[in-house]
Amino acid sequence: MYVASLIIQFLLAIGLIFLVLIHSGRGGGLSDMFGGGLGASAAGSTVMEKNLDRLTLLVALMFAFNSVILGFLIDK
C-alpha cells in the first residue's frame, strides 16, 4: 500500500507541476506582488481557463489527501 501511494504521489506531483505551468501568465513581475497589477483582467476568463483551474484544484486536493495518507502509512 505504501509503494502504491508513493507512486501515486509522484504522478500527482508531476501532474500538478505540469498543470501550473500550463496556466497563462497574467503578471508583470515583482510589481504585481506589491499591488502594481490591480488593473489586470480577472483570472480564468475563458471556459478553457476555468476548466484548467478546476482540474488544477482537483489535482491539488488529491495531492494533499494523498500526502495525509502517506503520513499515516509512514507512522506505522
Which pLDDT score, from 0 to 100, does residue 9 have?
A: 97
Domain ranges of the chain: 1-22+48-76
pLDDT tens digits, residue range 2-56?
999 999 999 999 999 999 988 876 665 555 555 555 545 555 578 888 899 999 9
pLDDT at res. 34: 59
What is the rounded CA–CA span in Å between residue 70 and residue 9?
9
* Contacts with 53 (C-beta within 8 Å, 6 or more apart), sequence order: 23, 43, 44
The predicted pLDDT at position 35 comes to: 56
Query: Would you state the cell numbers that stand for residue 30, as one nine-digit string?
Result: 515583482
